[in-house]
Amino acid sequence: MSETKRIKSVLISVYHKDHLESIIKKLNELQVKIYSTGGTKSFIEQLGVPVTSVESLTDYPSIFGGRVKTLHPKVFGGILYRRDEAKDREEAAKYGVPDVDMVIIDLYPFQAAVAAGEPEEAVIEKIDIGGISLIRAAAKNYRDVLVVPSMREYAGLLDLLNTGKGETTLEDRRKFAAAAFNVSSHYDTAIFNYFNRRQEEPVFKQSFTEGMTLRYGENPHQKGLFFGNFDELFDKLNGKEISYNNLLDIDAAVNLIADFDEPTFAVLKHNNACGLASSGNLTDAWKKALAGDPVSAFGGVLVANREIDEATAQEIDRLFYEVLIAPSFTPEAAALLQGKKNRILLRQKGVSPERQSFRSLLNGVAVQDRDTATETVAALHPVTRRQPTQSEAMDLVFANKIVKHSKSNAIVLAKGKQLLGSGMGQTSRVDALKQALEKAKTFNFDLQGAVLASDAYFPFPDCAEIAGKAGISAIVQPGGSKRDNESVDACNRASIAMVFTGVRHFKH
């Protein structure tokens, strides 16, 4: 039989009716017989287009509150019977099964119901049964039937109807079938993850239906792709295409800034903060953040948690950077910062709702809960004779937020809610401390009265001893070493106030 098929009949059952009108009118123009039910049938009737109810085809009404409408042999037989099989044709004729040459479906919005926090009873009712079954049936029989599985395919369908004048090729139908199985598998994954949200089943399933090609991967010789809805989180106001490394830095930046409530500016390089400060106004926070390491800031990623005004933009504009992220920009600031065409400006609209993070390794995927723990002053447990002053305690919390987002082993030095120096990604904690001290010294910071944060416990007293000689007045660390008492004794000898949090913040 010919691989080109003419569409003579269609079954339409959709949740969203947007952009459907032009398709209905085109099908009517092509003299295609339309079957439908429920709200979709009413919509078609309001357009003045003839439509046959599914109920008249099946001799069964919509029952159980609409749970069962299209689940009937005459419906699925009309979709699934093979037109080139003589026995199938005979059975279709014997049982009065009509041809259904095309199926147009838009599923109940299950994921939207989950995202909106609807009660479980409402979420369960958004699990589409008939629609998903029709999609799979039509896709399976793509040699004879065209399947349109979601609103996203409407534009392509209309183009096809206009150019093909009601005829489709095998290639057309196979392409739409692939889209159909993409829709059905994504839908089923969302349902599974909803039911498995407590992870009773040790199963990893993720599905992304949107993606973008990146300039390249981590290096120019590597191909790079991003799967996810970037536009859901950001408006891109300016700049070149986003790279793989940009995405890593953007992710690190928004996770870091989310832990700060005061006006805060951070400068990141290779996923680590090289400058960060909180202040009463954003311009001052920017100047202090930049002062933390003006050398590393070149070509960095900048992030703020307040609107960028013109005064702040003028200061930022003096620096070459890759990406600037903020919740908003004044018109004057945006106009100024858009002056350089390659500079990426992102207006952040939200934060990722994901509760877990995962990465590929070996021959599988490792999954963990995100580190959402953020210690407060009340969570600091003094273990030394001298307790931190109020200003030291606030700086300890500030420094601990930064070290949480720094690559391990990590040490952060801060004073007056300004990052003075950090050491990260080192194979020993002593090396991380020495790196942090050297950074602070390079940019002429006075460490007398500064505080130190460590992402994990001190295995030996050496870090406390070195910190005391450098003028550090207070230390925050998780505690938990068998030799904690040695570090406590070293702090007592140097009149350092040390507090434990009981929470480790390794980041690899």
Q: Give catalytic residue positions.
A: 140, 270
Ordered alpha helix ranges (H), 378-446: 390-404, 429-442
- Distances in Å between the alpha carbon of 136 and those of 13, 38, 146? 14, 21, 11
Give the three-state DSSP class for 31. coil
Question: Rounded to 5 degrees, what are φ and ψ at 327?
Answer: -70, -25
Residue 406 C-alpha from the chain's centroid: 21
Residue 166 region, left (φ>0) first, then alpha (ψ -120 to 50), else beta?
left
Q: Is 295 exposed, middle or buried (0-12, 13-18, 19+ CB in 10 A)?
A: exposed
Residue 170 C-alpha from the chain's centroid: 36
- With residue 292 as reference, give the H or E element that holds it: helix 282-292
Task: Summarize the chain as % helix, strand, coil (round to 5).
Answer: 40, 20, 40
Beta-bridge mates of residue 419: 414
Q: CA geometry: angle at 162 spanning 156 and 166, to 5°?
A: 95
Altogether, the residues listed in the chain come to a count of 508
